[in-house]
Amino acid sequence: MDYQTLAELLFPEVIETPEEVEKRFPPRNLPEGAKVTRFAPSPTGFIHLGGIYGAAIDERLAHQSGGVFYLRIEDTDAKREVEGAAEALILTLAEYGLVFDEGAVIGEDGKITDRGDYGPYKQSQRGPIYRVFAKKLVSEGKAYPVFTTGEELEKLNAVDKKAEVKNKVWTEETAALQKEKMKKEREFTLEEVKAHLVRGDRFVLRILADGNGERTLKTADLVRGTLELPENDEDFVLLKSDGIPTYHFAHAVDDHLMGTTHVIRGEEWLPSLPKHLQLFRYLGFRPPKYLHTAQIMKLDENGNKKKLSKRDMGLDMKDYRRNGYAPECVSEYIMTLLNSNYDEWRLKNPDLPYTDFPFSIKKMSNSGCLLDFPKLTDVSKNILSRMSAEEVYEKLLAWAKEFDQPFAQTLESDPAKAKAILAIGRGGKKPRKDLATWKDAKPYMSFFYDEYFKVEDSYPDAFPKEDIAAVLRAFLESYDDADGADVWFEKIRVIASSLGYAADMKEYKANPDAFRGSVADVSMFLRVAVTGRINSPDLYTVMQIIGKKSTSERIEGMMKALA
Ligand code: GLU
């Protein structure tokens, strides 16, 4: 077969040579050891935790090494594309600190623009580039067309999809049939090709596989180590009948031309690796280093590991948003998933940004990671407890505006009050950890606001109502909101003593039978009346924030209820 003629017949419009294309994509001028990584989503509008997890590895590897982290939109499957999804994705990733240097980036004006010398960064715009390399493969006898028409074509495309994209397990019978068919399709003459072209028939372009499925190929994955995979003996599709490349072909061409050094992608691509290595070899490209990430798992009711499904909370980033997880907390949590020594580092460096942590591939586990909500809650509480009240207020307000407008109005009606509430117990060595998510804020803060206030807890039965009522009355008689904390507390001690409650805890503990209770109980009587709860932040501060009017009204209300 005269492959050169075949190539001309199939791709007459392609005049650029591979060498000319290579010149347009020269090697990157980067310092030694700099890594070039990419996030390469299909714009389906769905961003899941595994995606953020993988992108976080990309981002850390690139930026830690002075390299480049770029975005490539893999939009070759128009059916799956959702309008505006790419923009939404870029903005969501940016919330998680994943900001691209190249590809589609957020410009200084906040708008999304294309940046970089290795574009276009949308695969749908790279058609001519793929065809240059397709033509080269045909001219070297490494790829061949399979002509089909109408229905037959659809069937063929469907089979290719199943076999390659989803890596479906084939029965031996279908595999044998497929092989038989493949062998036949390899045989054709130039005359036949010409006749098809004259009729306007379309073709898919397949690789001419030189592998032997009985033999294994040794290769390496950065986390999994040495891998032994069967060689590829399947003539997989490079270009679909509409001229659009498959993932395999686009991956090889793009990652080569764009200078990707490390490909981080889901483990569902692992079985396709022999195809990719074959393709890189055919094209004369040096393959990148690969890291295949394991699926994120959860524990089911029986304590068994299970893959997260689309229906599970914890997969779709929209769930995190709606449930009020701050992106900062999720990013921090992801770091704990990525490197097991992260927690230790964080303990030693409570105030450093997570980007200061020396992330290392070597410290990644290859057993797949488990989504652990109690851990996420813990991590989140720590992160939120270290933010300033001002920052918490701004972020909480933004969340509430989207998901709880009435609460947003409450917050905005008196920003100083909201910030004062959020400032309680903040800033010290052991800050309070009331919030794990923005959703937690309303239940935590609600009692400060009359419109939400209700008595949630009741007094322990051990205390006579008369005692409680007497404390509330005495407090109201002496209450002055101008008192400082010391004077305020001294007054409570006096009330305690006057009613047979120990004013001093030591005294009480030494001889509990001599008292009706202690000053702690007296404070609790007031606390339940004013906050509606047995537990609350420092009561003096609470009263200062609520103000004299509401404090008095609540105490009076409780006295009525007890009467
Ligand atoms: N578009 C592919 C996907 O969404 C990207 C895989 C890769 O990163 O190479 O699965």
CATH of domain 465-562: 1.10.10.350
At residue 298, the pLDDT reads: 85
Q: Is 245 in the pocket of ligand 1 (CB under 6 A)?
A: no
- Residue bearing the CA closest to ligand 1, atom 9: 265
| pLDDT above 70 coverage of the chain, percent | 94
Distance 50 CA to ligand 1 centre (A): 12
Chain mean position to CA 81:
20
Distance 277 CA to ligand 1 centre (A): 16
Q: Is 48 in the pocket of ligand 1 (CB under 6 A)?
A: no
Kindly report which listed range (27-31, 308-312, 438-442) carries the lowest average pLDDT score. 308-312
Q: Is 123 in the pocket of ligand 1 (CB under 6 A)?
A: no
Distance 311 CA to ligand 1 centre (A): 21
pLDDT tens-digit readout, 461-506? 999 999 999 999 999 999 999 999 999 999 999 999 999 999 999 9
**What is the 3-state composition of the chain as percent helix, strand, coil, each rounded to the nearest 5?**
50, 10, 35
Distance 39 CA to ligand 1 centre (A): 8
Q: Is 251 in the pocket of ligand 1 (CB under 6 A)?
A: yes
What are the angstrom distances between the C-alpha of 123 and each of 73, 202, 249? 6, 21, 11
pLDDT band of 369, cuts 50, 70, 90? confident
Strands 501-502 and 517-518, by their bridges, are parallel
Tokens for 63? 């930026």
B/e letters for 462-482, b = 16+ CB within 10 Å, e = fewer, are: ebeeebbbbbbebbeeebeee
Q: Is 43 in the pocket of ligand 1 (CB under 6 A)?
A: no
At residue 168, the pLDDT reads: 47
Kindly report which listed range (29-38, 46-55, 179-188, 434-443) carries the lowest average pLDDT score. 179-188
Q: Is 265 in the pocket of ligand 1 (CB under 6 A)?
A: yes
At residue 198, the pLDDT reads: 95
- Residue bearing the CA closest to ligand 1, atom 5: 40
Number of the ligand 1 atom closest to the C-alpha atom of 74: 1
Domain segments of the chain: what residues? 389-446, 465-562
Contact 325, 376 (CB under 8 A): yes
Across the chain, mean pLDDT equals 92
